[in-house]
Chain A
Amino acid sequence: MADLQIYESYQRLLQNEDLSTPLAAILALTEMMERSTAGTMFELLNELKGSAEALSRQSPNPIGLNAGCELFIEFITLFPHDAASFSELKTELIRQGQQYAKQALTYRAKIAELAFDFIKDDSVILTHSYSRVVLQTLLMAHKRKRISVFVTEARPRGMGIKTAEMLTAAGIPCSVVLDSAVAYVIEKVDFVLMGSEAVVESGGLVNAVGSNQIAIIAKAANKPFYALAESYKFHRMFPLSQYDLPSHNSRLLSFQTPSGNPRTPSGRRPSESSLAPNHTASIKITQEDIARNNPDIDYTRPDLISLVFSDVGSLTPEGVSQYLVGMFAG
């Protein structure tokens, strides 16, 4: 019951265009605290941890919200307990949570200001999918400099088109690039600006699928790859590879051998005649099938990233991991 309630409030909060998943998770947890009947700090922390787990269980892609929950629980644990009574302390914690969320909304402007110094006049920028912080940065840069932007389509969700529409509406020269055409367009690009779902402890990046290949292509073409991330997206997680991400499961990218489509004998390619027209017509692969069989997010290694712009400063990937170690390892 309580588990359902927290997921509902999380979903409701996400309706707000400005709230990203970690912030929505933090606010959902503060709402839970308001409802909570816990009488001690220990109980409250247990409830918070339970709710965080429930949220993460119910969400299809829990990485962003995990980062928020982790940050909030860490904050509550370390909060000085000098209030006169527990109820006062709880009210104070709720106030702090809401205040943090309010404060956190200003982070994007701060990041835009930092990234702005790296955008030269007449720059050509490549970005991927839809990211609020990248959008804000681009809109701000447009006011003072001439920029033009390539946006990838970002299959399967096609969120790049949303970015392109918003940029065009703001009067920024903008062109949608197929995900498969990134290597074609990279020569024209000055640098890549990438949003992120989470920045992980290795200094790497978890973001909408396709980010990794863009980073690899940017590296191969010697173009800087800048990631933009608010500090609440820093996450204590260390993926060793793509398959080490919590979102990975064995169903993703499994080989489909539907019945009635026997695999061709090895070593012999099917001849033209064996592919009867009615046979090919019987197999239909829809976009939904492809999307279901494919990952939503991928992991970008730190050595592919030039800089991470965040509200705590412009960090190298090593700097990100040092910041995370300093924050959580103490």
Chain B
Amino acid sequence: MPSSYRDRAGSVDGYGSVDRGPKSRGLRIFSHFGLPKTLGHQVKGDIHPAIVRLALQFSEFKICGANARCIATLTAFKTVIQDYVTPPHNTLSRHLMTYLSPQITHLVAARPMSVTMGNAIRQLKLEISDSDIDLPEQDAKDELCQKIDNYIRDRIIIADEVIEDLAVKKIKDGDVVLTYARSSLVEKIILRAHSLNKQFSVIVIDSRPLLEGKTLLHSLTSTVPPIPCTYALLPALPSLITDADVVLLGAHSLHANGSVYSRAGTAMVAMLAKEHSVPVMLCCETYKFSETVMLDGFGKNELGSFIPKFSPDTPKSNSNLEVLNPLYDSTPPSCITAVVTEVGLIPPTSISSIPLALGKTTL
């Protein structure tokens, strides 16, 4: 046993010295997650300043969260489209996408693309290729920007309002609502329930390294009157879950088999809630749906070990220690009672029928 351990350590050292320098042992089975990048100011090719800035904000986690990232990306693309000039002997509908592609590549280099961004960009590509060739350039650009605004309004802002309406009905007087980390949508739902004078309290469960729950706790307790809140870290969950009446969770994306890709730790909360028969409501707009199938958190994930925002007492990687911070995990559909979307409450297993019901072939 000791010899085999040494063998493995030796080979890892060899791997590390080649790829990551002597300081890091390498990621072995997690290497496919992609290393978090410390993006410098080097910019390859013709990248629009708005995109350069956005990429830096992404890589430093200044803009974080599926909705925020999607809105920021689309807003930046609006500037890019307005500043774009079609070269001679070309049409906007044919050429604009070739101009946008490197911009997207630059964004993805900063942080892997979120499903929301992917869906929005796919829709944008569709709109660009559909734009009328005979339209004057400025009109075509204005029309595209209008379509981007509509997308943000319909798929995110209005959708959120509908979801708030639906989810608030499930919070009753005297309930204890449990949530994990911070989802912008869950925050809005809780604040709405509070503005409707419902008497309830909230348990905010949080976890290192991001400790996003603190932000949520701050906004919930700064209301007048403040919402009664309990703040605890993930290890304290088993003793608190029995008090909860309903669990509200946000999502990064939702997959065709009903599994939920969300902040690391969500799966644990959902599983424990199921174990204690506490209903779990997942709040998620339909534009977060992905037609891929996700079976576990290993096939696709993101690492966040070098994020500067992390608290300073986070252990640093060295030659004997590799800090591994997957940012996401996958929650199986069996642990989710209901998914609250703008088309209603649906069980996670029926997710795949929504695009068909909406009469769309793509999301």
Contacts and interface: CB of A to CB of B under 8 A. Distances in A.
Interface of A: 201-203, 236, 238, 240-241, 244, 302, 318, 321-322, 325-326, 328-330
A202 B347 contact: yes
B234 interface: no
30 contacts: A201-B344, A201-B345, A201-B346, A201-B347, A202-B337, A203-B347, A236-B344, A238-B338, A238-B346, A240-B170, A240-B246, A240-B279, A240-B281, A244-B170, A318-B347, A318-B349, A318-B350, A321-B347, A321-B349, A325-B343, A325-B346, A325-B354, A326-B353, A326-B356, A328-B344, A329-B344, A329-B357, A329-B358, A330-B357, A330-B358
Given A321-B346, A321-B347, 10 more contacts: A238-B338, A238-B345, A240-B246, A322-B350, A325-B346, A325-B353, A326-B356, A328-B344, A329-B344, A330-B358
A241 B354 contact: no
Contacts of B246: 240
A238 B280 CA distance: 12
Contact of A240 (B337, B343, B354, B359): B337
B345 A322 contact: no
B119 to A, nearest CB: 18
Interface in B320-360: 337-338, 343-347, 349-350, 353-354, 356-359
B89 to A, nearest CB: 44
Contact of B343 (A238, A322, A329): A329
A318 B343 CA distance: 17
A240 B279 CA distance: 6
A220 B67 CA distance: 43
Given A322-B350, A325-B344, A240 B357 contact: no
B332 to A, nearest CB: 13
Contacts of A302: 347
Contact of A326 (B338, B347, B349, B357): B357
A297 B221 CA distance: 39
A241 B353 CA distance: 24
B344 A321 contact: no
Contacts of B359: 330
A239 B79 CA distance: 45
Contacts of B281: 240
A302 B170 CA distance: 19
Nearest to A301: B337
The 6 A-B pairs at the shortest CB distance, nearest first, are namely A238-B345, A240-B279, A329-B343, A322-B353, A321-B350, A329-B357
Nearest to A238: B345
B11 to A, nearest CB: 46
A330 B354 CA distance: 8
A177 to B, nearest CB: 27
A155 B264 CA distance: 47
Interface in B250-297: 279, 281
Contacts of A238: 338, 344-346
A241 B279 contact: yes
A321 B337 CA distance: 13
Nearest to B258: A318
A330 B359 CA distance: 7
B357 to A, nearest CB: 4
Nearest to A328: B344
Determine which residue in B343, B354, B357 has the highest number of CB atoms from chain A within 10 A of its CB, and name it: B357
Determine which residue in A238, A241, A322 has the highest number of CB atoms from chain B within 10 A of its CB, and name it: A238
Contacts of B346: 201, 238, 321, 325, 329
Contacts of A240: 170, 246, 279, 281, 337-338
Nearest to A326: B357
Contacts of B353: 322, 325-326
Contacts of A326: 353, 356-357
A127 B353 CA distance: 33
Interface string B127-151: 0000000000000000000000000
A328 B349 CA distance: 17
Contacts of B343: 325, 329
Contact of B357 (A201, A318, A325): A325
A15 to B, nearest CB: 35
B265 to A, nearest CB: 22
A236 B345 CA distance: 9
A202 B357 contact: no
A318 B353 CA distance: 10
A322 B347 CA distance: 9
Contacts of B347: 201-203, 302, 318, 321
Nearest to B173: A250
Contacts of A244: 170, 279
Determine which residue in B345, B347, B349, B356 has the highest number of CB atoms from chain A within 10 A of its CB, and name it: B347
A329 B339 CA distance: 14
Nearest to B358: A330
A329 B349 contact: no
Nearest to B359: A330
Contacts of A241: 279
Nearest to B337: A240
A330 B358 CA distance: 5
Contacts of A321: 346-347, 349-350
B184 to A, nearest CB: 23
A241 B247 CA distance: 13
B106 to A, nearest CB: 37
Contacts of A201: 344-347
